[in-house]
Every structure is written in structure tokens, then in C-alpha cells.
Structure 1
């Protein structure tokens, strides 16, 4: 029976990062991914590397992750197309602008300095924005990266660092025997470790339920599109801040010229069939909202649409931390469609927690015990 210090179940950006940072702490690690590393939510999302717009209590985690993003190419030895070109949120109403301004004031206490821009200042700096926009909130340290590259690159770095990274390794059984966990992998037999970290995204609820910790995890599919290439002009990531989901749109331009866009609504997804659906009516609405924010996109052509399987919790906050029922068991899942930027920070935080029993990054709001009935 193969043994390690830690078994990580789930090879998205959280699990790959945790395996990488556990190795840097000298722990032996087995990373199990039922498909390919980065194939699920970590690889199909928008690629936003943003701090603003998050719950304030999540900013310490986002700050920790931002420090990793700054040095990621040197840290893992690969380029994930991270561009620190800024992140801009815009609003159509004065009321929403006031909310953004209040958030900017509060975020300063967490080390995030945001710049509020009036409509005139926006027109001067970003003349391509639509005339309905009345204000903006700008973070010069934000940006974007390629999600299809990032988690696989971190997984390769973990393997180079000595982690046993196993793809096409489906967990079919897990239990605790004495002081150790025994994890059964289809076609590979049993693995043993005193600590297990579950980072299995939408599939993690099935595993936590085995330890008496069911959670109200819902799954949805993001609606994503990419356009034909256009002349490269838009550096920051841009998103509309609105209380109305149908008005929500966010977009970024890659150096090749294509516009990547998401928002407007989510679609159905299933962990039983491993499928998520693109809804044509949502894509049409998304393009309408994109043209509203960027009138210059009135005649741009879509070349591809896609979706994926993301997990959501009722309070719009993830589950992170130790199990409330089983010593040696840890969780990091349910990031509610906003896990990409914090992924490396989640991995480093969980590696610290698993290795030392504590972490300097506050994660108390994310305890799984909040869902006890």
C-alpha cells in the first residue's frame, strides 16, 4: 500500500497549489484527479485575477494570493499568460456607484487601494466605454490569466517538486483506519496517509457527506464566449457592477486580440453526467450587455462558447479548514465561481494549515461547521 504524509483529492487550481506548497514544506504528497489536472472549473472560468468585488473578509486570502501571482512564473517555471493590466468595475446607476465607493473606503483597511472614477474621468481614460456608464472603480493591481494553462502548469510544478500527481485516478472509497486514512482509487488499489485534503470542487460534497458533514452544494455552469480577434486596445479586465444578474457582464482582451466574455446568467450542470450546458438565449443576452458596455462591439463575431461545472453555496462563501468531525481531514471547495484568483493563496494557506495545524490567514468564516443542522 502506497503511503504519503498527505493525500489531496481534486486536481484543480486549489489542489495543485496545495500539493506544490506542501512539497515546499517537505511533506510527501499524492494528488489525485479523477480526470485531468485543471480540466473542470479551474480550466473553464473567465480567468479574472481580481481582488475588488469580493467579500471584505476574503481580502486577506486574496492579498496572499496576489503576492503569489506576482512571482508565479519564477515560482513554477511556466508562463500562464498573467497580465497585471488592472481591473475596472463600472456601474449604470448612481446608487450602485455609491455602493462601489463605500466598498473602496472599506477595502483600504484590508490593504486594497481602489480609485473611484467619475464619468468624465472614465471617458478620458477609457473612451471606448458606453455612455450609460456613470462611474467606475479601478484597481491597477488586478488583471487576468489563462485558466486553461494555470492549474496544469502548477500541477507540473508540483510533480517536479516531488509530488506524486495522478490523473485519471477516481476515488471510489475513503475511510479512516486507526490514525490513517485509506483512500481507494479505481484500478490502483489503496493509498494511506494521516491527512487528507479534499479540493474536489462540485464533487466534494459527496466526500464530505461520508464523514457526517453534508453541505448544500449547488452546481451551475458559467456561460462563456470568445470573439474573433480585434486590434488590441483593451488592457484591463472590465466588469459591470449591478444587483441585476441579467445586466452582469465581464470581459477582457488577450494579446492575440480575442475578447473573452462571461456573465448575464448561469446554465444547468450535472456532476452525474459531468456535463454543463451552454444556453443560446443567455449568450444572446450576454452579447447585448457587452454591446451596452462597449458599443464598439456591435458587429463582433463569436467564434466559440463553452461552459463547465462550478459549485456554489447559499452564503456565497467557500468551505475551507479542518473537518468538524474527523481529525486529519481538511476541506477547500465551493468557491462560488470566484476561486481562480485566490486559488494559489488557498493552496498555500491549506498547505500551511495541514503542515502546522494553523495559518496566519483568517479562514474562520469558511468553516464547514456553519452548515450543521
Structure 2
């Protein structure tokens, strides 16, 4: 079972017609629904299970600009500004605090990465500060990090995923959106080649546009529409501790672990280094697109064989709009956490910060991350199906940039200016044919 998430009760009435349907109640979908509803658009936010039931509540909770792919920096900068005013905007606690993010480096490779992100920080004016070993000693008294240097962005921060995403959904509802839970979208209806409605398990909702923000399910949904979406799944594992006094005030990322302070006084902890890519039939279908990234990040990615391989074989890839879909058979992806990986992460944290010797584990959970071949999200209009916007593949970076990414998706859906240039997030960057619609 995933980390405990604030409950959002779905509305009972299905609207006959709206301007925009948002498919998926994670951070991207909720942010898109909030922005569009606040601007007077009629919005339906439709979630097959519960709001923030999957990766949007299972992530680390970092809100950072530093250490991203250059394409993501504008979204990170815009999102940090949105996070700043979000609590007042929606009238609810999100857990957002600007408590700073520190990355450290121990190896030559990590030092080179530190040099790169320091250059990025200067380019994007992030106010990053290089930390010597003496600086680290002063900032983390009694630490045993065993690193050569670090870098700090004091304005970056963190938030509470289990509170923030449900709060976004409730904010969207107060702004006029309909929020539907346990209501899977089965497909879309078109007229003259353009989206005119979505078909849910509870009935039809007429609309002028739709956003697909289905996280790890997006490839399957898009495939039923004949859209080839290059996306694989990575399995993540996270734990949280009970309150720890005297722990690090910042979120910290080393070559071995990542941690962040929580609003309740505890810490969220995960293993950094090698992320397990699930071996599924899609992994073989997409090997050409993903092979360069797998080779480039061979030290950070590994392959794992679990029940997802069988699930991928038996899950239907095509279905009719009046038939039960895979989204109704599995409302929430809830993988078991990898206990050995989490035990190693906690050991590494205790070695680096002796204050954690007294820490007790309150909860462990697993999650499924949607990844693209280059690790950069897709936020784009589907050229083959006008009226549909795809926002997926956030590759483990989505929570922090979620507010701006959701707004960008909504802006693309309703038309008009966008807060950042959407060009780096185009689907067709992966090669010809990925926006071609084929017969379903």
C-alpha cells in the first residue's frame, strides 16, 4: 500500500459537456485542472482510481530547479514561483518550504556532474553555491559524508506529495471543476478527426479538448488510440522515518541516497544510483529508442524482472469503448517496495549522519515511474488527433515541476500563450512515426 494520502471524495454527477477533460488525477492533471478552472473553463478531472494514488504521492517530494536536464530548467523555475503562492491560492497546506537542496560529489564522475550543474545554475541564475568540505562540515556538524564537495541552492525546497496533490484537486473543484474518482476513461470520441468527447465507464462527457496525463498508463491508453508513445516503467522504492531531532535541514542527494526533511519532523529516504527498469514486452518493443539512454546511464539503470513482465503479456492492448478496460481491472499500481534497496539506503544515511542511528522506519512503499528515452517529459499536442494534449513521461522529475507542467498542458489544450516554450517537450523529437495515428 502506498503512503497515506489525503482522501478526495469524487463528485457523483457526470457532466454532460465541458470544455476540457483531464485524464489522470496526479500532480500534472490536478495542476492542469486547477489552472483551467480558475480561468473560467468548464473542466472535468477524471481519475480511474483515487487522486494521487500512484507516483504523484509516492515520490521523494523534492521541489528543485538544480540538477535537471537543461530542457526542464524553465519549468523548474516557473514551478518554484507557483509553489510559493500555492498554499494561499488554494487555501490548503501543501507542505512547501524553501529549505534548500544540497548535492554532493565523491567520485571524479560526480565532480564532473557537479561542474555541469554549477554551470547550468549560473546560466539560469539559480543562485547556487559551491560547498567545500569545510562548508559541509559547518552546515552538517558531525557528518560522515565522505565527499569532496557539494553544491547548494537555498531557494529550492520540498513539499508533501500526499497532501499537496489532493489539495490541488480540491482547489480545482472550488474553482468550478468536476472531480471524478474511480471512473476510468475508456476512449475518446471524434468528429471530423477531432476530439469531441471522452467515454468513461460511467458514460460520455462531451468536450472540446482533453489532456492525457495518465503517468505510467499513458502509453497503453495512447496505443488504443493508435498513437505510439515511447514510454517505459521504472520501479521506485521509498521509506519515511518517524521524527528525527537534529537531522539535516536540507534535502540531500549523494551518490548513494537521497533524503528530505518532512513537515512531520521525519525524513523521506530512498536509494540513489541504480533504478530498476521493468522488463516487459514494451521494453523489447522500444529497445531501439531506449538503448542509447540505457547505455549512457548504465551506472544508474538496471533491469528487473518481476510480475510486471506477466502483466504486460496478459494486459489487452486494444479494447472497445463499451468493454471493461485494463484501467478498471487495476485501479492503482501498488508494487511492493524493494526492502533490500531501502535497507541499504538507510544504512548509508546512518553512516553519513549518525543522528539517524535512532531513527525508526514508519512506512515503506513502492511506485512506478513513467520514463521517456531521454528522461525529459512529453508535453505536446497530438498532431494525429487534434484536441488531445499528452503530458507524460516525467521520468521521476514530475512532482517539483508539476504545477508549471500542468499549466503548460492546459495552455496547449485551450490555446493562447504558454508560460514556457513547449518545443523541448515535443513528441516527435523521438523520430518519425511517433505521432502517426494508425487503425486501432
Interval of TM-score (by shorter of Structure 1 and Structure 2): over 0.9
* 1:177 counterpart (188, 191, 194): 191
Match of 2:78 in 1: 64
SS at match of 2:236: coil
* 2:408 counterpart (338, 349, 356): 349
* 1:326 counterpart (358, 363, 385): 385
Q: Relative to 1, partners in 2 of residues 1:233 and 1:289: Cα closer, same or farther, differing over 3 Å?
A: closer
Shift of 1:303: 2.7
Match of 1:262 in 2: 270
Match of 1:290 in 2: 349
Match of 1:369 in 2: 428
Of residues 63-72 and 267-276 in structure 1, the stretch that sits farther from structure 2 once superposed is: 267-276
- Asked whether 1:22 is paired with 2:30, we answer no
Instruction: Quote the Cα distance in structure 2 between the aligned partners of 1:287 and 1:176.
Output: 51
* 2:88 counterpart (68, 74, 96): 74
Ranges of 4+ aligned residues in structure 1 off by more than 3 Å: 264-273
- Contact between 1:113 and 1:139, CA under 8 Å: does it hold in 2? yes
- Contact between 1:175 and 1:183, CA under 8 Å: does it hold in 2? yes
Shift of 1:255: 4.4
SS at match of 2:37: helix
Shift of 1:345: 0.7
Shift of 1:78: 0.4
Gap runs ≥5 in structure 1: none
Of residues 105-114 and 78-87 in structure 1, the stretch that sits farther from structure 2 once superposed is: 105-114
- Contact between 1:56 and 1:110, CA under 8 Å: does it hold in 2? no
Match of 2:299 in 1: none
SS at match of 2:45: strand
Match of 1:142 in 2: 156
Instruction: Quote the Cα distance in structure 1 between the aligned partners of 2:159 and 2:371.
Output: 22
Q: Where do 1:49-60 residues align within 5 Å?
A: 49-60=63-74
Shift of 1:275: 3.1
Shift of 1:151: 0.8
Match of 1:204 in 2: 218
SS at match of 1:305: strand
Q: Relative to 1, partners in 2 of residues 1:126 and 1:198: Cα closer, same or farther, differing over 3 Å?
A: same
Q: Where do 1:1-373 residues align within 5 Å?
A: 2-178=16-192, 179-186=194-201, 188-240=202-254, 242=255, 247=256, 249-264=257-272, 265-266=274-275, 270=308, 274-371=333-430, 372-373=432-433
Instruction: Quote the Cα distance in structure 2 between the aligned partners of 1:197 and 1:257.
Output: 36
Instruction: Quote the Cα distance in structure 2 between the aligned partners of 1:214 and 1:208.
Output: 7
Shift of 1:277: 2.1
Gap runs ≥5 in structure 2: 1-14, 279-306, 316-329, 434-440
- Relative to the length of structure 2, the TM-score reads 0.79
Instruction: Quote the Cα distance in structure 2 between the aligned partners of 1:50 and 1:189.
Output: 40
Instruction: Quote the Cα distance in structure 2 between the aligned partners of 1:74 and 1:131.
Output: 38
List per-residue Cα deviations over 1:188-234 (Å, max 9, x = no partner): 21111121111111111122223332123111221101123221442
Q: Relative to 1, partners in 2 of residues 1:129 and 1:362: Cα closer, same or farther, differing over 3 Å?
A: farther
- Relative to the length of structure 1, the TM-score reads 0.92
Instruction: Quote the Cα distance in structure 2 between the aligned partners of 1:109 and 1:88.
Output: 18
Shift of 1:181: 2.5
